[in-house]
Amino acid sequence: MSTGRAEPVGVTAGRLVLATRNAGKVAELRRILADASVPVEIVGLEEFPEIGDVAETGLTFAENALLKAHAVARESGLPAIADDSGLCVDALNGMPGIFSARWSGGHGDDEANLRLLLAQVSGVPPEHRGAHFACAAVLALPSGKEWVAEGVLHGMIIDTPRGVNGFGYDPIFVPEGEGRTTAELSAEEKNAISHRGRAFRALVPVIAEVLG
């Protein structure tokens, strides 16, 4: 979906910043673009130590991804991609949602977040254990032009954590049609079906057109 506001100016062909310090995300986007034969160089935020954290003050994944992508495109002078994602649990009215990373209080305490969520859904019967991971990914140009893509992975929450791969809520999330948790899938298996993989792949045609 294009929600462009202005014509691109000053785009440096072939170089793109992914607005994260998570090396796994950088590797995932690199692999997706390589698979699609799009010749774009992806750099992470560790190459831009002067760019500080962007406050995620939006109320939706897309609003937060837009805030990050525009701030990083503006400050780096390069096209930027940002994503925001989280777990939405049916029995919790879609929470933790945009609060997934800080559900138990501190930002990024995966173990505490997972334990709190398990306590909140304890006693919820299997038929009401539905949940989905959601991701919004945004490509923004320094000119202000922007594109938003979204991806979802449906599944259910189990009671006992299983698996050591991935991060966050992966040990308690079983995707639809799978017997394993996303923490029991290989990185390749997870990326092929994940919310983030889907959102990133939806941006590939735009990246190819604007930068390839």
Enumerate the active-site residues.
Answer: 84
Site string for ligand ITT, 101-120 (x = CB under 6 A): x------x----x-------
| CB 195 within 8 Å of CB 173 | no
Taking the complex as a whole, the smallest distance from the CB of residue 17 to ligand ITT amounts, in Å, to 12
* Cα separation, 95 vs 169, whole angstroms: 13
Q: Is 171 in the site for ligand ITT (CB under 6 A)?
A: no
**CB count in 10 Å sphere of residue 163:** 16
If one asks whether residue 76 binds ligand ITT (CB under 6 A), the answer comes out as no
Candidate segments 4-12, 27-35, 83-91, 137-145, binder of ligand ITT by CB under 6 A: 83-91
CA distance 24 to 100: 18
The interface region with ligand ITT, picked from 8-16, 21-29, 123-131, 200-208 by CB under 6 A, is: 21-29
Least Å from the CB of residue 51 to ligand ITT? 12
38, 120, 140, 174, 193 from 129: Cα distances, Å: 39, 11, 36, 10, 20
Compare residues 8 and 163 and give the one whose CB is closer to ligand ITT.
163
Residue 168 touching ligand ITT (CB under 6 A):
yes
The reply on whether position 5 binds ligand ITT by CB under 6 A is no
Number of residues that bind ligand ITT (CB under 6 A): 20
Could you count the other beta carbons within 10 Å of the beta carbon of residue 196? Answer: 24
Q: Of the two residues 58 and 212, which places its CB atom closer to ligand ITT in the complex?
A: 58
